[in-house]
Amino acid sequence: MAAGRRSSSTSALVSLLLFVEFVGEAAVGSVVTVPGRRKKQQRQGDVCDIYQGSWVYDESYPVYDSSACPYVRREFNCLKYGRTDTLYLRYRWRPHDCDLQRFDGEEFLRRFRGKSIMYVGDSLSLNNWQSLICLLHAAVPDSSIVQSTNGSISAVTFQDYGVSVMLFHSLYLVDIDQEILGRVMKLDSVSSGVVWKTVDVLIFNTWQWWYRAGEKQQWDYIQDGNEMLKDMDRMVAFRKALTTWGKWVDSDVDVGKTRVFFQGISPSHYNGTEWNQPTLRDCSRETVPLNGSTYPAGLPLAVSVVKQVLDSIVKPVRLLDITTLSQLRKDAHPGNHSGLWGMDCTHWCIAGLPDTWNELLYSELSASTDTKEE
Ligand SMILES: *[C@@H]1O[C@H](CO)[C@@H](O)[C@H](O)[C@H]1NC(C)=O
Ligand SMILES: *[C@@H]1O[C@H](CO)[C@@H](O)[C@H](O)[C@H]1NC(C)=O
Ligand SMILES: *[C@@H]1O[C@H](CO)[C@@H](O)[C@H](O)[C@H]1NC(C)=O
Ligand SMILES: *[C@@H]1O[C@H](CO)[C@@H](O)[C@H](O)[C@H]1NC(C)=O
């Protein structure tokens, strides 16, 4: 099948599911914040924390022209849907203590020849997945690229390199089973792990859906051990599910084969008080990032839960610690220039911020392949 064309009958279903998910994500709950303090990540042997830095104007960005990438979904295709300011495309993340490597798509494809990369999670994984596909496509636009879908999995394969870049749609990572009672979220089971563990690079994410209630809630009961509950403290549930996932990493992932990453909490911008603009209720007027390296409102509480759970995992799992650098990018959301619905200050334009997330991933992967034989 040709590049840029979906052709299996399941793809319509997957698109529908993603669409439903998107509509569900338009409303965003309040952000609980931990003011001020941030624990610097300790990384053995590292001289530079690539997640501490600031945004600088750089004429050489963006890395690709989004109109030339046939894979951008309408909900991220800001320029196509009427965004006229383009300054937001021209910022580069500059860590305090080093420079990030510029993304080299051809080098990436050569290095991962024959390998598979999978983003697992909600629509922020979709956002991230689309960015990597466009970054790679821009490097080898004339090569053979095939799209396919199978159940929860969407894949784009760069055939000349045998590199498959996949998306596994999962809102909570843990299972949701249809039972007689209704839809039961099982806090202690990640049965999709049997698929995940066959992949070479895994990038997980879950958060957006944990506080959803009413019609947007995707389960009717929560099973926690032997208890069947109608509801529970959502942060506690989130922690338990992540812990289950962490135990799966420790018991099932072959770290000789698979690199595991967790894509940190992606912030939204619906509350101007967080960035010292108390009259604002969305991101629609934002055209430049915040200066400096800290976000006035501090970090969401979920970030500390993620860090604590990751710290409890024995096997190597890297946090793509994108929260603060993304909080500074109040200008990088679709706003009202999404091809789908009203105001989206949750997801990110493509080209745009997720390209930086993937540059950070690239940097992490380069460091890890360099030291793999230690
Ligand atoms: C907006 O953010 C501020 C600062 O973090 C917080 O105190 C306030 O409760 C938030 N408002 C809403 C409506 O979430
Ligand atoms: C779809 O995925 C299932 C489970 O991973 C696999 O058994 C099946 O062969 C796949 N089908 C296609 C057409 O690739
Ligand atoms: C941000 O920094 C730039 C360069 O130092 C400066 O020109 C600009 O006025 C600053 N913006 C704000 C809002 O402080
Ligand atoms: C989007 O928002 C901007 C700024 O508020 C406004 O000028 C513009 O008319 C809006 N566009 C659409 C399509 O609603």
With residues binned 3-state (H G I as helix, E B as strand, rest as coil), the percentages for the chain, rounded to 5, are: 30, 20, 50
Q: Is the peptide bond before 351 cis (omega within 30 degrees of 0)?
A: yes
Q: For ligand 4, is residue 336 a contact (CB within 6 Å)?
A: yes
Q: For ligand 2, is residue 198 a contact (CB within 6 Å)?
A: no
Q: Which residues partner with 366 through β-bridges? A: none
Distance from C-alpha of 206 to C-alpha of 189, rounded to nearest angstrom:
15
pTM of the model: 0.87
Are 257 and 200 spatial neighbours (Cβ–Cβ below 8 Å)? yes
Are 358 and 135 spatial neighbours (Cβ–Cβ below 8 Å)? yes
Q: Max Cα separation, the chain?
A: 58
Distance from C-alpha of 41 to C-alpha of 90, rounded to nearest angstrom:
28
pLDDT at 29: 33
Q: For ligand 4, is residue 287 a contact (CB within 6 Å)?
A: no
pLDDT at 234: 98
CA of 27 to the centre of ligand 4 (A): 19
Neighbours of 350 (CB within 10 A): 28
CA of 110 to the centre of ligand 2 (A): 26
Q: Which amino acid is at 230?
A: K
Residues in the chain with pLDDT values less than 50: 1-45, 370-374
Q: Which two tokens stand for residue 238?
A: 């989130």
pLDDT at 260: 98
Q: Which residues are catalytic?
A: 123, 344, 347
Contacts of residue 271, defined as CB under 8 A and 6 or more positions apart, other chains included, come to 30, 31, 280, 281, 297
Distance from C-alpha of 294 to C-alpha of 263, rounded to nearest angstrom:
19
Q: For the residues of 54-82, what is the DSSP string, one character each? A: EEEE-TT--SS-GGG-TT--GGG-TTTTT
Q: Which residue out of 284, 286, 338 has the highest number of ligand 4 atoms within 8 Å of its CB and is therefore the one to mutate?
A: 284
pLDDT at 367: 84
Are 18 and 169 spatial neighbours (Cβ–Cβ below 8 Å)? yes
Which ranges of the chain would DSSP assign to H, the alpha helix? 9-24, 105-111, 123-139, 193-196, 234-252, 301-312, 323-327, 353-370
* pLDDT tens figures, 72-103: 999 999 999 999 999 999 999 999 999 998 99
pLDDT at 36: 29
Q: Which two tokens stand for residue 148?
A: 């396919």
